[in-house]
Structure 1
């Protein structure tokens, strides 16, 4: 069974789970679970901010606030966008970027000209009540029609037909990525979060590494990854290699890498819980300082206060009530190194999210998978 066919989030090759919450009586407060502080990349870039920002320390606030980069998505895109559905849900586009300049230059293949690409893309749908979420990964190699878009500097970029999904970001940055996702899904993105890969590496190191167990050898010279089957504590460089590798697992496609990324997220959440980061002020500040330097957000989230409020709204979501899937795709008959959208099944996904409903199992069956099942899981019980 693949991670995408399970009722809850899963590790490739293992069944997912659905979390349940029992009711309580009286005024006794249960200890807050640290696991529920984590929601994908969005969570671990904001979790430290929530606690540190609440201390009222002026220096800490202004220091962290000055770290955050933001982009005004709404002004750049204007009014020609899908209508916001007022049903209590939220949609967040989360991107991992691989700029070839600065600290990222040494972290992998691709152009060496300082350009940037979106190496990872996920739509996080937070359901009404903010107790559960669905996460839809978009393969970067998906062939799509990119709409005309205006970037954050006011430059308009022409529409293009039959191009890779990640060309949207490399062409016009965050605003064109959002415009393209909205064009493909007809769903309004309420927020945007981007994590720089160099910052990702530093974040994992600040956490003291992440424990994973591989059931197969993974070796990829391009991502500098060489892991034997077994248990490993990955440092930042190794973790980055894991979430970026595509040649060392499955059929070498982006789909296999997505399964690794989804599995690593669970291991990351487990690590945050294991080390008790929220009870260690020094580690918490270091993590928040690193996270705010790594993240770019839309202007509505571009401050510590806004990120605090946003993260507080997500604190009820843990790994047991996140459903992770990949956008339904099939291999492109014209080029096996690319994929195309399985339109009828993808429409089931977008309709479900638009109506704030669970993604139907039928939408995730029979799609291209990358054949990377059973490769990696959390190293902790």
Structure 2
């Protein structure tokens, strides 16, 4: 959304009679770029739908880097071990460009980070299991992108990153953004958390935050309760920013446009495939027509991490529902018009694999695993593996059998032996098709001996996986969703951070 400001502003300047090639080159020179992906990931880009359009997913990152003097002054200690991703969001733009969603992933979520290579130093980082914000320092935004793709099975088209000083510059040039708190707040060190505190200090009610105060709002954690509360405050900021921009006619003031465009181009770093003013403008035009009531902002449902329950999270079972909504391009809101019976869907069709045709169904060995428990410690649905294996036998896959051991999994998927190459993928895809599992959920595995179907917690009944796909507005309660048109929300404040102001 901040990028949208830069994009619209840039094209406004470029579109005036006085815009010249030299100015375009000037803006181009201010754009910082990096590789789209720098980590191992097998998530493939879906094909466009029958109308020739595709959904678009953009990873938005807020970096806590202290590399520049400006960032050191704003962020405190300059000896932090590498950059970390303070903000991780997926912006999803629907294929028909009628709606969008913004999903935050709490920065303290423990995940598998794949092998990554830093594009600048060429240093290789081994796979690890740790909190997701560490991915940025293990190969840059491209490593975070690969980590997010592997976590969600959502293909990410582009990334955008802004650091501390960039947030302050943008808030300053825009004149601030309206936010609201239920109580007077002072986020400062306390006896319980002596190292904490963003410094945010506001009286009860609405305020226009800008300059360093905007950064304090976006960084506040403890006063808002936890990382989930911080994400909600960030959503409030983004919603307010969008409404503010839509309420202004920026194109009537060339001087203001010039200032915003110049500031924005220098504030962001973007993935290289969109690293020109023209491409950023084209992307911005995709977003400008979506009304606030068709924008939904939410947080990935999460639970306490047993390894560090007071500090870290794991994805909750309902997280798979959120990612299913995104992967299948289902609107998070219910404010759209219902499609007429038989109307073409706007959802992108997964790319069909290239390579050899699948073997005859009866010759493909298939193991079916019951993963309906979701996570360890939860009860599984009895006989699910047997039911799916039976359905596959009926479809001609006579060598399909239930596995002897259950393996909890939040989501359903199909894997095949990595050594089987394209033939293995073709065989696995034919198995997935029989159960109506999307091709995007078919992946290679170094441990699988045969094609393996894991029936996850998102598929507890029936033999048609497509019937489990969520309906419009089917956002789980744990996602704490906020509609972009909602202006009546104020952030609650933890008692210890309230003051008598």
Q: 2:181 aligns with which of 191, 210, 214?
A: 214
Matching of residue 125 in structure 1 with residue 92 in structure 2? yes
Q: Which residue of 1 aligns with 2:46?
A: 85
- CA pair 109-338 structure 1, distance change in 2 beyond 3 A: farther
Query: Any conservation in 1 of the 2:103–2:299 contact (CA below 8 Å)?
Result: yes
Q: Tell me how far apart the structure 2 counterparts of residues 96 and 168 of structure 1 sit (CA, whole Å).
A: 13
Query: Any conservation in 2 of the 1:96–1:194 contact (CA below 8 Å)?
Result: yes
Alpha-carbon offset, residue 368 of structure 1: 8.4
Q: 1:52 aligns with which of 8, 13, 23?
A: 13
Q: Tell me how far apart the structure 1 counterparts of residues 475 and 97 of structure 2 sit (CA, whole Å).
A: 23
- Partner of 1:166: helix, strand, or coil? helix
Q: Tell me how far apart the structure 2 counterparts of residues 259 and 110 of structure 1 sit (CA, whole Å).
A: 26
Give per-residue Cα distances to partners, 1:221-250, cap 9 Å, x unaligned: 33121101023222221111001101222x
- CA pair 368-89 structure 1, distance change in 2 beyond 3 A: closer
User: Which deviates further from its counterpart, 172-181 or 227-236?
Assistant: 227-236
Q: Tell me how far apart the structure 1 counterparts of residues 278 and 248 of structure 2 sit (CA, whole Å).
A: 26
Aligned pairs for 1:304-315 within 5 A: 304-315=277-288
Alpha-carbon offset, residue 53 of structure 1: 2.7
- Partner of 2:304: helix, strand, or coil? strand
Q: TM-score normalized by structure 2?
A: 0.62
Give per-residue Cα distances to partners, 1:318-337, cap 9 Å, x unaligned: 32211111111012234222
Q: Which residue of 2 aligns with 1:62?
A: 25
Q: Tell me how far apart the structure 2 counterparts of residues 363 and 328 of structure 1 sit (CA, whole Å).
A: 10
- Partner of 1:223: helix, strand, or coil? coil
Q: 2:215 aligns with which of 240, 243, 249?
A: 240
- CA pair 148-224 structure 1, distance change in 2 beyond 3 A: same
User: Which deviates further from its counterpart, 48-57 or 323-332?
Assistant: 48-57
Give per-residue Cα distances to partners, 1:182-221, cap 9 Å, x unaligned: 1101111111111122111111111122233322222113
Q: 2:116 aligns with which of 141, 146, 149?
A: 149
Q: Tell me how far apart the structure 1 counterparts of residues 477 and 301 of structure 2 sit (CA, whole Å).
A: 9
Q: Which residue of 2 aligns with 1:375?
A: 491
**Structure with the larger RCO, 1 or 2 (CA within 8 Å, 6+ apart):** 1
Q: Which residue of 2 aligns with 1:100?
A: 66
Q: Which residue of 1 aligns with 2:169?
A: 202
Q: Tell me how far apart the structure 2 counterparts of residues 304 and 220 of structure 1 sit (CA, whole Å).
A: 38
Q: 1:174 aligns with which of 128, 141, 144?
A: 141
Give per-residue Cα distances to partners, 1:69-118, cap 9 Å, x unaligned: 111225x458x531111241111111111211221112235653483211
Alpha-carbon offset, residue 155 of structure 1: 2.6
Q: Tell me how far apart the structure 2 counterparts of residues 68 and 114 of structure 1 sit (CA, whole Å).
A: 26
- Partner of 2:139: helix, strand, or coil? helix
Q: How many residues align?
A: 328
Query: Any conservation in 1 of the 2:28–2:276 contact (CA below 8 Å)?
Result: yes
Give per-residue Cα distances to partners, 1:337-377, cap 9 Å, x unaligned: 211111x31111222211111245555224689xxx8317x
Alpha-carbon offset, residue 131 of structure 1: 2.2
Alpha-carbon offset, residue 59 of structure 1: 2.8
Q: Tell me how far apart the structure 1 counterparts of residues 63 and 98 of structure 2 sit (CA, whole Å).
A: 28
Q: 1:346 aligns with which of 312, 316, 319?
A: 319
